[in-house]
Amino acid sequence: MRKLLVAVMSVLAITVSTGTAAGAPLPCPEIFATNNTAIITDPDDPRLRDRLVEFDREVRGIVLANGGVTTRSTLLDGVFWSSSLQQTTFERSRKFDVTLNEESLRHTASTISKRFRQESVLTFRFLPANSPKVDAVQVEVGGITARQVREGLLRDAVAREKLGGGSVTLQNKAILIADVNDLPTVRAFVTNIGGDMSKAKVRKGTWEFVSAETPLWIKQSAA
């Protein structure tokens, strides 16, 4: 999967936050993945209407085989910037909310990458805002369409470099994932494409792009 630094799912738009409330359980870890290996440049390509039902079933099986369950699977429309093509590319993908520990999450993502011939699979684990292991942010915003993400990337060279792309649910809800130091870029991008950061939710965590060749011993210390 291309570097999915922006992903979108169905969430309620709420007041900006910088972490999970004290004492509240952290959300499940997430896996962002696709079975697409083609370069699709036409936003009307019929492959972009695939609901990835069989892919969903297969990934759930991989998660189960690694000792977890999938609590939610969200269909995404991806929009990415291709440096080699100098234009946007498109793909369908899914976000899987899973009950896996850090080591099992990485092993599962590596298996998905190998099974579906992906360059990498993105994982995100939520952490307390004050954790020293925080290296990424997730920004949830409502009212953003795939067209807005696409046009925003075409206009914004900084966002293309820092964010790489994004995805949109059928409900036009957005999640943007980026390096924790790039939160200002995310805020500016959301505002510039017509999103409302005052109704966004910001949470912190750690991300990883896992490939079939990623050493499974890295980053295994507990959060």
Q: What is the pLDDT of residues 143-181, one digit of tens each?
A: 999 899 899 999 999 999 998 888 888 999 888 899 999
Does the pLDDT of residue 183 top 80, yes or no? yes
In a domain, 24, yes or no: no
Bridge partners of 78? 91, 167
pLDDT digits (tens, 9 = 90+) for 85-98: 888 999 999 999 99
Look up the pTM and report it: 0.86
CA dihedral 125, 138, 38, 98 (to 10 degrees): 30
Residue 214's pLDDT is what? 79
Does the pLDDT of residue 14 top 80, yes or no? no
Residues 6+ apart with CB under 8 A from 91: 1, 2, 34, 36, 38, 40, 48, 78, 80
Total tally of structural domains belonging to the chain:
1
In a domain, 12, yes or no: no
Supply the range of the domain harboring residue 197: 30-211
In a domain, 114, yes or no: yes
What does DSSP say about strands 165-168 and 136-142: parallel, antiparallel, or unpaired?
unpaired
Name which of 24, 34, 29, 12 is nearest 177 in CA terms: 29
Residue 82's pLDDT is what? 85
In a domain, 183, yes or no: yes
In a domain, 151, yes or no: yes
In a domain, 108, yes or no: yes
Residue 16's pLDDT is what? 37
In a domain, 216, yes or no: no
Find the largest Cα–Cα distance for the chain.
47
The whole-chain average pLDDT of the chain stands at 87
In a domain, 25, yes or no: no
